[in-house]
Structures are given as structure tokens and as C-alpha cells.
Amino acid sequence: MFDAIHMRPCGRPTKTGNPCRAQFSGRGFACKIHTTDHEKQLVDAYEQGLRAGREEGRRQEQQTADIRVENLERQVRTLEEKLDTQNRRFEIDGHQCVTVGRYAYVWTGPGRLKVGDRVLLPENYVSALRQGPGPQPGTVTALGSTYTGTHSKILSRLPASG
Ligand SMILES: [Zn+2]
């Protein structure tokens, strides 16, 4: 009866000896008049406990969800690294290959390129659209590439930009 939400009669004895006919609803033991201070404290404590429990539940659910997402992200990273290691090539037909941004190139010029080197790249479809026609400068972002298609040739080295 404590947790009943429907209207129900109080039923506590009154001064006349008849049961109280006042109706009450919600969590509680009796109508407002006949609820003792102790009972009121019990109800308050109970409701407080419920609220705290719900908040705790939400917090834990969130934590569980966070952990699951973190695990998935870690798995994806591991898989990406594994695929990268399996597919990365550092030379094609005897020429060094490097990655510049999102694209892969071969370097047929003298010496070896390293990450951070400035180079001149041939025009491609995307660079023509974005930067206009003609060769474009770029910076080597990674050694080797995982691209399986044809690699364009880097035109030349550029002096390091100040
Ligand atoms: Zn009553």
C-alpha cells in the first residue's frame, strides 16, 4: 500500500472512533492529517533514495556506454594500424614512395625525402578544382603509402618554407 498511486481511504482511527474516510493517493501511509512526522520522514527518505538510485543508475549506464565506445575505438585503431602495416609500401619499382596529405606519390629525384620536406606536386583533378591549374606545393606527411593504385611522380623538391 505504501507505493500505491491510486486514491485510497486513509482508514486511520478518528476521535469519533470511526475510520478516517479521507482519500489520499501516492506514496504514503495515511491522509495528510493522520500521517505522523515519523511516517513523513520515512516517505521523504525513501523518495530521496529512489532519486539517488536513479541518478546512480544513469551514471553507471553512461559509464558502461563510454567504456564500450572506447573499446570499439581501440579495436578500430588496432585494425587500422594492422592494415596499414600490411599494406604500406616504401618503394615502388625502386623509387621511394611517400604520402602527401591524402595522396601517394613516388619520388624519382635524387636522394631520399623525409617527413616535412616541401615538394612540388603535379596537377591532379582535385588540385585543379581547388587551387586552379598547374603544379601545387605540398609537404611530405608520411613515408611510404598504402595506396594501391598508380602513384603520381613528385616534380621536384622545394626549399623549406620559412
Ligand atoms: Zn486520515
Rounded to the nearest angstrom, the distance between the alpha carbon of 94 and the centre of ligand 1 is: 96
- Please give the Cα distance from 118 to 111 (Å, whole number): 14
Domain locations in the chain as residue ranges: 8-86, 91-158
Rounded to the nearest angstrom, the distance between the alpha carbon of 41 and the centre of ligand 1 is: 17
- Tell me the mean pLDDT in the region 108-132: 91
Rounded to the nearest angstrom, the distance between the alpha carbon of 38 and the centre of ligand 1 is: 15
Rounded to the nearest angstrom, the distance between the alpha carbon of 4 and the centre of ligand 1 is: 16
Rounded to the nearest angstrom, the distance between the alpha carbon of 35 and the centre of ligand 1 is: 7
Residues with CB under 5 A from ligand 1 (ion): 10, 12, 20, 22, 31, 34
C-alpha cell at 18: 470511526
- Tell me the mean pLDDT in the region 55-59: 82
pTM: 0.53
Rounded to the nearest angstrom, the distance between the alpha carbon of 33 and the centre of ligand 1 is: 6
Mean pLDDT, the chain, integer:
87
Q: Per residue in 60-113, pLDDT tens?
A: 888 888 888 888 888 888 878 887 888 889 999 899 999 999 899 999 999 999
Give the E-state strand segments of 6-90 in sequence order: 8-9, 23-24
pLDDT at position 118, please? 97
| C-alpha radius of gyration, the chain, whole number | 37
Burial of 17-34, coded b for 16+ CB within 10 Å and e otherwise, reads: eeebeeebeebbbbbeeb
Rounded to the nearest angstrom, the distance between the alpha carbon of 43 and the centre of ligand 1 is: 16
